[in-house]
């Protein structure tokens, strides 16, 4: 397997409704930035990979087909990945494999979601005959698992609010973030409406329109590159008898394979920044444990000690994360791109000083699809 690197990243300004652009225009806003960042032009791109969550969100079956002109894919190979919420991460990994395998030299990975075209709640709850009525709404699926985590880990109730306040403050440092709340505090989060007890309003992700793009190349195109040191993907069924929904085996297995491939034995010491898919605040400590940054039951202590802030031992979601912007299909690729930006030193006001190794993480479905990568500033 030959080395591959992220040589350019781009993203849109994320917002609840990007009514100024079409779907093609939204994708191109991210693509044009990524290609400019990489200093490449269309003839330099060998293939395109598009990731997006369910087609019902935009009401287009396989939208990569009608977007082929806008994606610059005409006459080239075009793949469409869909692995639920983890799709943005899978898109990055599939694009990386196209270069690592030697099949292509330079690949454009794009992910987008234009949630304002419909209503995700509707799309996910089309009343399928015979199926169990779900009385819970969007966060209601995950809230019981958060409760189970709190009970199992004995975590104090304010930790979730700490995550939310940190990510939203970080988001205010990110010019592309949907939500920018520099003045948010743990107290104000705790004072926000309890939606799905134990999850409060300020602890949930927004619904965004947005896109992200990265250029992955076998050779650097400028002085900056984020070398892909490892990729991992794992899947398990949505539910099964005895399934651990708080600390799913698929996530643990993916992380173990990832660290091994990257040659990392002590992730907490060796990783300088982590962009982790945290759509509800409590998933930060849950994934810290699942990823092996801490022992089981200890993740919340890292958060509580402030170690996941920018400047802490392991800055988590310096970009503001999913809690600040959530264009679903693009959210995973945003994590991957933000990790690359950290090691390329292009993260601007949310740059973690001296970051040389970073994690990009995505998950989807009922915490069952996992995609991750580790990028580093050093050529392997």
Partner 1 sequence: MRDVAVVGFAQTPCVRETDGTTNGVEMLVPIFHEVLGSLGLTKSDIGFWCSGSSDYLAGRAFSFVSAVDAIGAFPPIMESHVEMDAAWALYEAWVKLLCGEIDTALVYGFGKSSAGHLRRVMAMQLDPYVVTPLWPDSIGLAGIQARVGIEAGFWDERAMASVAARSRAAALSNPLAQLSGNVSVDELLASDYVADPLRRHDCAPITDGAATIVLAAGDRARELCERPAWITGFEHRVDSPSFGARDLLTSPSTVAAGKAAGADGVEVAELHAPFSHQEILLRQALGLGDITVNPSGGVLAGNPMFAAGLARIGEAARRVHDGSASKVLGHATSGPLLQQNLVCVMEGRE
Partner 2 sequence: MTRPLSAPLDVGFDYTRSTGPTLGRFLSDLRRRKVTGIRGSDGRVHVPPLEYDPVTAERLSEFVDVAATGVVRGWSWIPEPLEGQPLDRPFAWALIQLDGSDTSLLHAVDAGTPDQMATGTRVRVRWRDERVGAITDIECFELSDGPAADPVEADDVTMVTTPVNLHYTHSASPTEDPFLRGLMDGRLIAQRCPACSKVYFPPRPACPTDGVPTTEQIELSDRGTITTFCVVNVPFLGQRIPPPYVSAYVLLDGADIPFLHLLLGVAPEDVRMGMRVEAVWKPREEWGPTMRNIDHFKPSGEPDASFDSYSQHL
Q: Which does 276 bind (CB under 5 to 8 A by kind): partner 1, partner 2, none?
A: none
Alpha carbon distance 287, 167 (integer Å): 15
- Residue number with CB closer to partner 2 (253 or 270): 253
Preceding omega of 125 cis (within 30 degrees of 0)? no
- Report CA-CA distances (Å) from 179 to 7, 88, 202, 318: 27, 20, 11, 14
Could you say which residues in the range 58-77 bind partner 2, by CB under 8 A? 58-59, 68-72, 74
Q: Could you tell me the smallest distance in angstroms from the CB atom of residue 145 to partner 2?
A: 7
Among the candidate windows 121-129, 292-300, 317-325, 343-351, which touches partner 2 by CB under 8 A? Answer: 121-129
Q: 222: which 2 tokens?
A: 């400028």
Question: Where along the sequence are the contacts to partner 1 (CB under 8 A)?
Answer: 1, 22-23, 52, 54-63, 65-69, 73-84, 90, 94, 97-98, 100-103, 123-124, 126, 128, 233-238, 240, 243, 248-250, 253-254, 365, 368-369
Residue 50: partners with Cβ closer than 8 Å, 6 or more residues away: 63, 64, 67, 71, 78, 79, 80, 81, 91, 110, 111, 112
Could you say which residues in the range 233-292 bind partner 2, by CB under 8 A? 237-246
Q: Which does 263 bind (CB under 5 to 8 A by kind): partner 1, partner 2, none?
A: none
Could you say which residues in the range 141-200 bind partner 2, by CB under 8 A? 141, 143-148, 151-152, 193-199
Residue 129: partners with Cβ closer than 8 Å, 6 or more residues away: none
Q: Could you tell me the smallest distance in angstroms from the CB atom of residue 375 to partner 1?
A: 17
Could you say which residues in the range 33-52 bind partner 2, by CB under 8 A? 42
Alpha carbon distance 252, 247 (integer Å): 8
Q: Could you tell me the smallest distance in angstroms from the CB atom of residue 6 to partner 1?
A: 17
- Residue number with CB closer to partner 2 (116 or 188): 116
- Report CA-CA distances (Å) from 115 to 53, 89, 169, 212, 310: 10, 19, 24, 14, 30
- Residue number with CB closer to partner 1 (11 or 231): 231
Alpha carbon distance 87, 104 (integer Å): 21
Q: Could you tell me the smallest distance in angstroms from the CB atom of residue 296 to partner 2?
A: 13
- Residue number with CB closer to partner 2 (148 or 257): 148
Could you say which residues in the range 90-109 bind partner 2, by CB under 8 A? none
Is the Cβ–Cβ distance between 380 and 263 less than 8 Å? no
- Residue number with CB closer to partner 2 (24 or 186): 24
Q: Could you tell me the smallest distance in angstroms from the CB atom of residue 25 to partner 1?
A: 12
**CA 193 to chain CA mean position, Å:** 26
Q: Which does 54 bind (CB under 5 to 8 A by kind): partner 1, partner 2, none?
A: partner 1
Among 2, 130, 183, 265, binds partner 2 (CB under 8 A): 130
- Contact between 335 and partner 2 per CB under 8 A: no
For residue 211, the 8-state DSSP code is E
Is the Cβ–Cβ distance between 232 and 252 less than 8 Å? no
Q: 39: which 2 tokens?
A: 């200093």
Is the Cβ–Cβ distance between 6 and 214 less than 8 Å? yes
HEC states along 8-53?
EEEECCCECCCCCCCHHHHHHHHHHHHHHHHCCCHHHCCEEEEECC
Among 129, 223, 265, 379, binds partner 2 (CB under 8 A): 129
Among the candidate windows 98-106, 130-138, 211-219, 222-230, which touches partner 2 by CB under 8 A? Answer: 130-138
Is the Cβ–Cβ distance between 274 and 314 less than 8 Å? yes
- Residue number with CB closer to partner 2 (137 or 263): 137
Alpha carbon distance 266, 244 (integer Å): 24
Q: Where along the sequence are the contacts to partner 2 (CB under 8 A)?
A: 17-25, 28, 42, 56, 58-59, 68-72, 74, 116-119, 121-123, 125-130, 132-141, 143-148, 151-152, 193-199, 237-246
């Amino acid at each position: 397997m030959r080395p591959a690197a992220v040589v350019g990243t781009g993203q849109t300004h994320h917002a609840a409704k990007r009514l100024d652009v079409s779907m093609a225009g939204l994708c191109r806003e991210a693509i044009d930035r990524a290609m400019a960042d990489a200093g490449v032009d269309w003839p330099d791109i060998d293939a395109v990979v598009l990731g997006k969550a369910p087609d019902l969100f935009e009401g287009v079956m396989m939208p990569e087909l009608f977007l082929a002109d806008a994606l610059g894919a005409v006459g080239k190979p075009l793949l469409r990945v869909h692995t639920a919420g983890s799709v943005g991460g899978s898109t990055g990994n599939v694009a990386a494999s196209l270069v690592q395998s030697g099949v292509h030299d330079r690949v454009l990975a794009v992910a987008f979601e234009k949630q304002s075209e419909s209503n995700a709640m509707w799309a996910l709850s089309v009343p399928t005959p015979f199926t169990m009525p779900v009385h819970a709404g969007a966060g209601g699926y995950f809230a019981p698992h958060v409760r189970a985590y709190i009970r199992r880990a004995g975590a104090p109730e304010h930790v979730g609010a700490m995550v939310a306040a940190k990510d939203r403050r970080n988001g205010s440092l990110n010019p592309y973030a949907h939500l920018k709340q520099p003045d948010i505090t743990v107290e104000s989060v705790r004072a926000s409406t309890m939606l799905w007890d134990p999850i409060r309003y300020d602890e949930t992700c927004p619904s965004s329109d947005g896109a992200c793009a990265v250029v992955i190349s076998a050779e650097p195109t400028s002085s900056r590159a984020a070398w892909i040191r490892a990729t991992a993907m794992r899947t398990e069924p949505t539910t099964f008898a005895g399934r651990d929904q708080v600390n799913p085996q698929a996530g643990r297995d993916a992380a173990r394979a990832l660290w091994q491939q990257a040659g990392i034995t002590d992730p907490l010491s060796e990783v300088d920044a982590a962009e982790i898919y945290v759509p509800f605040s409590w998933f930060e400590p849950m994934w810290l444990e699942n990823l092996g940054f801490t022992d089981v039951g200890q993740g919340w202590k890292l958060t509580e000690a402030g170690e996941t802030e920018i400047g802490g031992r392991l800055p988590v979601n310096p970009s503001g994360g999913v809690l600040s912007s959530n264009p679903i299909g693009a959210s995973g690729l945003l994590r991957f791109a933000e990790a690359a930006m950290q090691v390329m030193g292009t993260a601007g006001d949310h740059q973690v000083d001296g970051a040389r190794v970073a994690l990009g993480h995505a998950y989807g479905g009922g915490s069952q699809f996992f995609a991750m990568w580790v990028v580093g500033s050093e050529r392997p």
